[in-house]
Structure 1
């Protein structure tokens, strides 16, 4: 999604959206992520742009879209929370900080019981649900591109998605994201079963189509 397309997508449902803020965040994310690459070999900055695009479907406010664009800069670049606050305001800085905390919790997931992990996530986002919305969109785009990750990591991420993120999505009513997360996780955890189900469904369609 190009810069003007993202701005237009937001303004389509919010004519009062701060175009200048959106444009600055888009450019800043590209600049800070620079030459970083994802596992797929794609430029890293394409990821936050896609996350922001997912959230425009939910007609979220400018601060949330800006947070989506910036959600990895503190974690993965030299940017600090103070930098974000100075450039984009305290509201955005607080949201980015919340997403960063969730990302750091992910690193501990392998050593933490899932139930306990789930409680941590809920507590972490209790102040502002927009943090969880950004994180859900982040996970959704990561799951859509998970085939580029090593098998052992792919399995861990899929299981975490199924046991933590999808239930959280359902708990706040984001059913479409939760359902896609479940489907993608199942596809990676049990591809044989997924293929068998798809073939059976296709056979049933042909039977009913006669």
Structure 2
């Protein structure tokens, strides 16, 4: 399976975008990166990497893997967690980057559970809602999840590795059906991590 992890810093991402997606405005992407950095601050991923690396990976997957050069989709990739994981609002995203970016980010923002509500069903409803989303939203979600699972073995909690594998197979792989690059990539990923499937045969 292919792993996308070469865009560790934004200078690398800019160079690759200029080469592979020359129609994309680097100035708008720069603004999105600075916006995301301001809100995400010192957040880190479960294995300890700076959170920004996840955002760059999602853009890398979309551009170098799926061949997507839609500027608003790439900006949304940079911003996809800013409402879910920080105190940023959709209105702030809309004001800074326009209504289409705000709509894309809203689609991939998991809602908070209501007071007393079990977060499990909320998460499941969110994943199921992506099935009816526009194609660019589905691609954005697939790239986001692939960044999170492409090195699943580095997650510090083995039980989380197993539960995330099951959730991805059951609720994310179906989204890739009919999208050739994502379908093939997730199939390879599923086979590479099949040892995490502890369900009865």
Cα distance, 1:109 vs structure 2: 8.0
5+ long unaligned stretches in structure 1: 191-210
- CA distance, structure 1, for counterparts of residue 135 and residue 188 of structure 2: 20
In the alignment, does 2:95 pair up with 1:89? no
In the alignment, does 2:39 pair up with 1:32? yes
Given candidates 106, 125, 146, the residue that maps to 1:140 is 146
Given candidates 131, 136, 153, the residue that maps to 1:130 is 136
Alignment of 1:1-210 (within 5 A): 1=7, 2-57=9-64, 58-60=66-68, 61-101=70-110, 110-111=120-121, 119-123=128-132, 125=133, 128-146=134-152, 147-173=154-180, 174-189=182-197
- CA distance, structure 1, for counterparts of residue 126 and residue 86 of structure 2: 26
Contact persistence 2:127–2:171 (CA under 8 A): yes
- Structure number with higher helix proportion: 1
- CA distance, structure 2, for counterparts of residue 94 and residue 73 of structure 1: 13
The structure with the largest alpha-carbon Rg is 1
Contact persistence 1:55–1:65 (CA under 8 A): yes
Contact persistence 1:33–1:73 (CA under 8 A): yes
Cα distance, 1:90 vs structure 2: 0.9
Q: Deviations over 1:165-197 (max 9, x none)?
A: 12221233322332233234414226xxxxxxx
Cα distance, 1:155 vs structure 2: 1.6
Contact persistence 1:109–1:117 (CA under 8 A): no
- CA distance, structure 1, for counterparts of residue 73 and residue 130 of structure 2: 18
TM-score normalised by the chain length of structure 2: 0.79
5+ long unaligned stretches in structure 2: 1-6
Q: Aligned-pair RMSD on alpha carbons?
A: 2.6
TM-score normalised by the chain length of structure 1: 0.76
Contact persistence 2:107–2:130 (CA under 8 A): no
Matched residue, 2:4: none
- Go from structure 1 to structure 2 and tell me whether the alpha carbon gap of 1:46 and 1:183 turns closer, same or farther (over 3 Å shift): same
